[in-house]
Amino acid sequence: MQNVDLLYLFQGIATMVASEPTIAIARVVLIGLGILFVFLGAKETLEPLIMIPMGVGMASVNAGVLFLSATTMGTIFVDPMASDVTKLMDVLQINFLQPIYTFTFSNGLIACLVFMGIGVITDIGYMLISPFKSMVIAVCAELGTVLTFPIAVAMGLNYKEAASIAMVGGADGPMVLYTSLMLAKDLFVPITIVAYLYLSLTYAGYPYLVRLLIPKSLRGIKMDLTKIPNVSKTEKIAFAIITNTILCLLFPVAAPLFMSFFVGVIIKEAEVTRVVEFLESTVLYGSTFFLGLLLGVLCEASTILNAKVLILLVLGITSLLISGIGGILGGYLMYFATGRKYNPVIGIAGVSCVPTTAKVAQKEAFAVNKRAMLIPYAMGANISGVITSAILAAIYVTLLR
Amino acid sequence: MENYFLGSIKLLPVVYGVTAGISFMVAGIIKGLFAAVSFRTARSRAENESEG
C-alpha cells in the first residue's frame, strides 16, 4: 500500500492549514460560536428552535471545508453565490442543501412559510379589543426601525442595507429576512443572523428596560377586562380578508408576506382543522428548522468575513433598543390619554416579537401585582406590531428597491 | 455623503407618516366592522321586538 498523505485524508484540517490565517482563525471562531449557540439553545438562554440548527450548521460548515479542485476550497453544503444557470444546475446536484436554498431562500418563500405558521397561531381577536390604542403603541414601537435608518446611513451603509438592518427594530425574523433578501442580498446572511441572535435575547433583555423606564407603582396597574368585546369568527375573517386585500393593493411588492400571514389567520378562524395542524406543526416548525440550519450553513468564514458585520451588530441592538423605548413611550401615551388607567408596560408588547414581548409585559406586571392581567391587551399590541412591521417593510422595499 | 445622509433624514417623515396612516386605516377597518355588526344586531333586535 502506498503512503497516505494524512492532510489529503483529513481535508477539513488541510484546508485550514492551506488557507489564509484570517480565514483559518475565523473558521475556528465560528466553529466555537456554533457550539456555543447549540449549548445556549439547549439551555433555552437563546431560542432553541432556531439557534440549535443554526449552531450545528455553523460548526459543520466551517469544519467541513474541502478541496473542490487543486486550487479551490469550498463545501458541499450550499453555494449562495451560484447564479449562472449552468453552475446552478451543477451545484443543485452536488450541494445537499442547495435545493432548499435556491427554491425557498432566494425567492423569500421561507419567510412566507414562517409567516403562514405565525398567522395560524395568532388570535387576531386580541387586536380587535382596542384597535386604535394597540395601533398607537405599535406605531411608537417602530421608532427603532425608522430612526436606525439614518443612523445606519451615517455609519456608511447604503439606503438598501440601512433599511434592511433597521428592520431588526421590528423584531420580526421573517420580515428582516424578506427585506434583506429584497434589498441587500449580499448582506442578508449577517443581517438575518444578527436579527435572530438579538431576537433570542429580547426575553432576557427587555425586562430590564421595562424596570428602568417604568416605576414599580405603574407596572402593577390592573387593566379592565370587563370591557373586552366578544369578537365573532365572522368578524375576524372579515377583518383579515379586507385588510389583506387592501394591503396587497397598496403594496404589491410585499403582497406575498401579507397573503401568507392572513391566509394563516383565516384558516385558523375558519377552523379548517387539518390545514391548521399542517401549518401549525409541519410548515411552521419545518421551515423554522431549515431556516436555522441554512442560516448556520451560510455562516461560512469566507462569506461572513465582512467589514460591515461589526456595524450590523451595533445597529441591530440600537434598533431593538430604540423600538423598546418607543413602545414604552407609546404605553405612557396611552396611560395619560386614558386618565392613568392604562398600564404602560403594555407598550413593550408593541415590539412585534410574537408572543415574547407580550409575555415580558405580563411577567413584569405580574411580578408587581398578582392581579394585573394584561395579556389580552399585550397580545393586541403585539399583533398590531406584526402588521405595522409588515407595512414598514413594504414601504422600505417599495421606495428603495 | 452629507446629501446622502440628509436624504435619509428627509425620508423619515414619509416612511413614518405612511406607516402610521395605513396602520390607523387598518384600525379604522376594525372599528367600521364593529359598527356595522352592532348596527345590524340592534336593528334585528328592534325588528324582533316589534314583531313580538
Q: Which of residues 160-219 of A touch B (CB under 8 A)?
A: 162
The region, left, alpha or beta by phi > 0 then psi within -120 to 50, assigned to residue B22 is alpha
Residue of A nearest to B14 (CA): A395
Does the CB of B41 have a partner CB in chain A at under 8 Å? no
Select the residue of B9, B19, B25 nearest A142 (Cβ to Cβ): B19
pLDDT at residue B2 in the model: 65
- Of A282, A281, A240, A246, nearest to A261 by C-alpha is A240
Q: How far apart are CA A35 and CA B11, in angstroms?
A: 42
Q: In this predicted model, what pLDDT tens digit does every residue of A20-55 receive, in sequence order?
A: 899 999 999 999 999 999 999 999 888 888 899 999
Measured torsion, CA atoms of residues A292, A293, A294, A300, in degrees rounded to the nearest 10:
110
Q: How far apart are CA A53 and CA A297, in angstroms?
A: 9
Select the residue of B11, B14, B19 nearest A391 (Cβ to Cβ): B19
Q: Are A154 and B25 inside 8 Å of each other by CB?
A: no
Q: How far apart are CA A238 and CA A233, in angstroms?
A: 9
- Residue A143 CB contacts under 8 Å (≥ 6 apart), including other chains: A169, A322, A323, A325, A326, A327, A329
Does the CB of B2 have a partner CB in chain A at under 8 Å? no
pLDDT at residue B1 in the model: 59
Residue of B nearest to A134 (CA): B27
Give, for all 52 residues of chain B, the pLDDT tens digit.
Answer: 568 889 999 999 999 999 999 999 999 988 888 788 778 778 888 888 777 6
- Of A398, A129, A354, nearest to A247 by C-alpha is A398
pTM recorded for the entire structure: 0.88
pLDDT at residue A84 in the model: 85
Question: Where is B49: in which H helix or E strand?
Answer: helix B2-51
What single letter denotes the amino acid at residue A118? I
Beta bridge partners of A380: none
User: Directed axis angle between helix A375-400 and helix A143-154, to 10°?
Assistant: 40
How are beta strands A66-67 and A73-74 bridged, if at all?
A: antiparallel
Q: How far is A146 from chain B (nearest CA, A)?
A: 7
Residue of A nearest to B6 (CA): A150
Place of cell 385558523: A268
Does the CB of B46 have a partner CB in chain A at under 8 Å? no
> Is the Cβ–Cβ distance between A186 and A265 less than 8 Å?
no
Which residues of chain A register pLDDT less than 50? Answer: none
> Is the Cβ–Cβ distance between B16 and A146 less than 8 Å?
yes
Residue of B nearest to A399 (CA): B15
Q: Are A147 and B12 inside 8 Å of each other by CB?
A: yes
Q: How far is A37 from chain B (nearest CA, A)?
A: 35
